[in-house]
């Protein structure tokens, strides 16, 4: 329903990452920014939204004990899978609400206003216009073309869906051994339901490499001055 801002939903918070690209000896979402674990920023945000009735933390079996202090009547833990897509599918089996937000725990800087903008639609994702010049490259390593960027957007999370729809397309993808690049891509392939682009923020970065921690601290410092 376009224009409906208040909508009860469940949140799937993916926290089953690794530290390989971060060059860390532990899951990157446990690393801290301003003495707070990266994933906790998003968790606290969802818990501050009265429309969020349930948060499903998705993690590794061996890390379950770490999340114990964060569990409550409103927050539960689900063991993830081999791929991100498997982890989402596992979590979707536990969703209690008719709508669901799927979010990467390594994105700590999403805002309440962005959540509200997503909730104004039935199926929508945050995204930002691509700023860089995009080159298509052949296997040989040579450029084959420069891709026009006027209609190119970089997908972010959260991604917001009707629960029944996203459950259906995840099951279809699993049955056909199809691995998508994000959750919206499964809707694109296995349904005819349109997904809306909601303009996000370039601050909504995913903490992936050591440099991202520097950018993350700069974002926090800038927000503290606002």
pLDDT digits (tens, 9 = 90+) for 45-78: 999 999 999 999 999 999 999 999 999 999 999 9
At residue 26, the pLDDT reads 62
At residue 18, the pLDDT reads 56
Does any domain span residue 2? no
C-alpha 202 chain-centroid distance: 14
How many domains is the chain built from? 1
At residue 21, the pLDDT reads 56
Does any domain span residue 91? yes
Q: Which H or E run includes 92?
A: helix 84-92
The residue among 43 and 24 whose pLDDT is bigger is 43
Place of tokens 């917001």: 160
Burial of 76 by CB count in 10 Å (0-12 exposed, 13-18 middle, 19+ buried)? middle
The answer to whether 206 and 155 have CB atoms below 8 angstroms apart is: no
Residue of 156, 226, 151, 161 whose CA lies nearest to 193: 161
Does any domain span residue 80? yes
Domain of residue 187: give its range.
9-225
The residue among 5 and 68 whose pLDDT is bigger is 68
Does any domain span residue 214? yes
At residue 131, the pLDDT reads 95
Does any domain span residue 152? yes
Q: What is the mean pLDDT of residues 106-125?
A: 97
Whether 191 shows a pLDDT value over 90: the answer reads yes
Q: Which of 6-20, 95-109, 168-182 has the lowest mean pLDDT?
A: 6-20
CATH code, domain with 217? 3.90.550.10
At residue 36, the pLDDT reads 93
At residue 2, the pLDDT reads 39
At residue 24, the pLDDT reads 56
What does the block give as tokens for 184? 């919206």
pLDDT digits (tens, 9 = 90+) for 68-104: 999 999 999 999 999 999 999 999 999 999 999 999 9
Mean pLDDT of the chain: 92
The residue among 59 and 5 whose pLDDT is bigger is 59
Whether 22 shows a pLDDT value over 60: the answer reads no
């Amino acid at each position: 329903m376009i224009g409906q801002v208040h909508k009860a939903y469940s949140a799937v918070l993916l926290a089953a990452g690794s530290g390989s690209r971060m060059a860390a000896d532990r899951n990157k979402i446990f690393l801290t920014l301003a003495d707070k674990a990266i994933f906790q920023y998003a968790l606290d945000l969802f818990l501050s939204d009265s429309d969020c009735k349930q948060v499903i933390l998705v993690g590794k079996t061996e890390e379950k004990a770490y999340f114990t202090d964060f569990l409550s009547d409103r927050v539960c833990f689900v063991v993830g899978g081999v791929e991100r897509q498997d982890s989402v599918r596992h979590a979707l089996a536990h969703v209690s609400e008719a709508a669901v937000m799927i979010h990467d725990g390594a994105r700590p800087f999403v805002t309440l206003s962005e959540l509200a903008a997503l909730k104004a639609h039935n199926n929508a994702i945050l995204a930002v216009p691509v700023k860089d010049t995009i080159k298509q490259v052949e296997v040989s390593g040579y450029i084959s073309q420069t891709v026009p960027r006027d209609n190119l957007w970089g997908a972010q999370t959260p991604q917001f869906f009707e629960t029944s729809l996203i459950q259906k397309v995840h099951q279809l993808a699993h049955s056909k051994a199809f691995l998508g690049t994000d959750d919206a891509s499964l809707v694109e392939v296995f349904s005819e339901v349109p997904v809306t682009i909601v303009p996000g923020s370039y601050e909504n970065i995913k903490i992936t490499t050591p440099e991202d921690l520097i950018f993350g601290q700069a974002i926090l410092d800038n927000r503290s001055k606002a």
